[in-house]
Amino acid sequence: MDERQLRILRELGELGSVTAVAEALLVTPSAISQQLRLLQRSMPVPLTERHGRRLVLTDAGQALAGAAIEVETALARARHTVEEFVDRPDGDVSVAAFHSAASTFFPLLLRGLAAPGGPRLAFGDEDVPQDDFPRLTRDYDLVLAHRLDHAPPWPRTVTATTLLREPLDVAMPADHPLAVRPSLRAADVADEPWITVHDGFPVMATIEAIGAAAGRRLHLAHRINEFAVVAEVVAAGGGLALIPRWTTRPHPALVLKPLDGVRALRHIDVLHRPERTARRAVRTVLAELHRAAGTVTGRA
């Protein structure tokens, strides 16, 4: 049985005929009769009987129709509870981000949503390969993910909007011979040792593109995912690295140079399952993320 069938049974008891029930529910009499037959199949005793040309409820039918009132009341109460939950401005909202996005956006969210009565934030750092970001939307309301500018789009199972399209610059010590140049090409940096991410992470594809543009394989001296650690290793003379322009904290001993001739650009996208934004609190956090992105690039 389902809610609609119980309502039809209740209406039949009150209105007294299939035709009257059909008119009240704006459907055909045959549709009402079909639902009553389906309901009867799930019951061990007759729910209706004929009195002349009229279909009326049996004692069992009347008992079930009475119970239907309680069911409708409980369902109405449950819907109201859900509506209150969905519309709460101070609901819990979980946000995941990879490390450099977390260090940039988490403080901005805390400051931007600090007023009383706003969403209650719960953060998690998730440094995963690109293909694993969509799976995180099972556990978090919003997931900050990164992918290269020319990478395939995210799967249709998640909704994605772009917060930033962030250049990846070549980081080097301030006293490096290449530091005096306004920009660099692949051939300029192809013979240097490199510090880069592990396989499966987006920056690796740009490293490979630099090697392809220069016509030789780069020497990958170190594999480090955390850009704060990368910056320290570069500053100590461990090699060059690609570092995001806006979401990595500036290092006093480093300079960043743009790369010409290679598409060195990453998207920072926010992923979520479509139903998550039915909640007012989640929409509030999502809007604040987009506002915060403007402050990161200096647009706001």
pLDDT tens digit sequence for 51-62: 877 888 999 988
Which one is predicted more confidently, 224 or 69? 224
Tell me, yes or no, whether 108 and 140 share the same domain.
yes
Which of 29, 63, 87 corresponds to the end of one domain? 87
- For the record, the structure tokens of 14 come out as 């009150």
For 106-141, how does the pLDDT look when each residue is reduced to its tens digit (9 = 90+)?
Answer: 999 999 999 999 999 999 999 898 889 999 999 999
Report whether 178 contacts 186 (CB < 8 A): no
Are residues 171 and 56 part of one domain?
A: no
Read off the pLDDT of residues 205-255 as tens digits, 9 standing for 90 and up: 899 999 999 999 999 999 999 999 999 999 999 999 999 999 999 999 999
* Residue 27 structural domain: 3-87
Q: What is the mean pLDDT of residues 273-288?
A: 93
* CB-based contacts of 288, cutoff 8 Å, min separation 6: 108, 109, 112, 113
Q: Are residues 26 and 103 in the same domain?
A: no
pTM of the model: 0.74
Comparing 46-50, 84-88, 98-102, 251-255, which segment has the lowest mean pLDDT?
Answer: 84-88
pLDDT for 299 beyond 60 = no
CA angle 280, 138, 83 (to 5 degrees): 30
Write the CATH number for 48. Answer: 1.10.10.10
- Residue 135, number of CB atoms within 10 A of its CB: 13
Which of 38, 58, 87 terminates a domain? The answer is 87
Please check the confidence at residue 35 and state whether its pLDDT lies above 70.
Answer: yes
Give the model's pLDDT for residue 297: 83
Whether the Cβ atoms of residue 155 and residue 134 lie closer than 8 Å to each other: yes
Tally the domains of the chain: 2
Query: Do 103 and 202 fall within a single domain?
Result: yes
Q: What is the overall mean pLDDT for the chain?
A: 91
Same domain, 248 and 218: yes
Same domain, yes or no: 207 and 236: yes
At 53, the amino acid letter reads R
CA distance 175 to 256: 12
Q: Which of 36, 70, 87 is the last residue of a domain?
A: 87
Whether 282 contacts 141, CB under 8 Å: yes
3-state secondary structure of 248: coil
Please tell me whether residues 97 and 83 are part of one structural domain.
no
Tell me, yes or no, whether 138 and 174 share the same domain: yes
Identify the pLDDT of residue 300.
43
Residues 295 and 219: beta-carbon distance below 8 Å: no
pLDDT at residue 76 tops 90:
no
User: Whose CA is closest to 2, among 75, 78, 80?
Assistant: 75
> Residue 154's pLDDT band (boundaries 50, 70, 90)?
very high
Structural Rg of the chain based on CA atoms: 31
From first CA to last CA, the distance across the chain in angstroms is 56
57 and 125 fall within a common domain: no
Residues 67 and 98 in one domain: no
CATH code for the domain in which residue 130 is found: 3.40.190.290
Task: Yes or no: say if 177 and 237 are a contact pair by the CB < 8 Å rule.
Answer: no
